[in-house]
Amino acid sequence: MRGVSCPGPIVQAKKLLDGMKAGEVLQLVSDCPGSADDMKSWAKAGVAELMFSHESGRGVHEFYLRKA
C-alpha cells in the first residue's frame, strides 16, 4: 500500500480480509504517516487482530493482521 494516503490502507486491508478465511494472516506495508495509529484503532474494533507492527525505516510501517 505504498503511495496510498490514509484511509486507503485500511480500505484495501478490509477488501483483502473480506476474501480471507478466519485465522489467515495479512501482511500490509504502508508509508502513510497515519497508518500506524489507524491500524491499531481499526484492529481494536474487532475486524482483525493486530499481531505485530513496526516501522521498518523511512516512515514505512509493516503490519500483520489475523482475520477474526
For residue 42, give the CATH number of its domain. 3.30.110.40
Find the domain containing 21 and state its range: 8-63
Q: Residue 3: its pLDDT value, please?
A: 66
Q: Facing residues of 48 across strands? A: 67
Q: Residue 6: its pLDDT value, please?
A: 75
- Give me the catalytic one of 6, 16, 26, 36: 6
Say how far apart CA 66 and CA 43 lie, in whole Å: 9
Q: Would residue 14 count as lying in a domain? A: yes
Vertex 9 angle, CA 59 and 65, to 5°: 90
DSSP 41: H
Q: Specify the number of domains making up the chain.
A: 1
* Structure confidence at residue 9 as a pLDDT band (50, 70, 90): confident
Per-residue pLDDT tens digits for 13-68: 999 999 999 999 999 999 988 899 989 998 889 889 999 999 988 889 999 999 98
pTM: 0.85
Q: Which bin fits 55, alpha (ψ -120 to 50), beta or left (φ > 0)?
A: beta
Is 32 marked active-site?
Answer: no
* Structure confidence at residue 1 as a pLDDT band (50, 70, 90): low
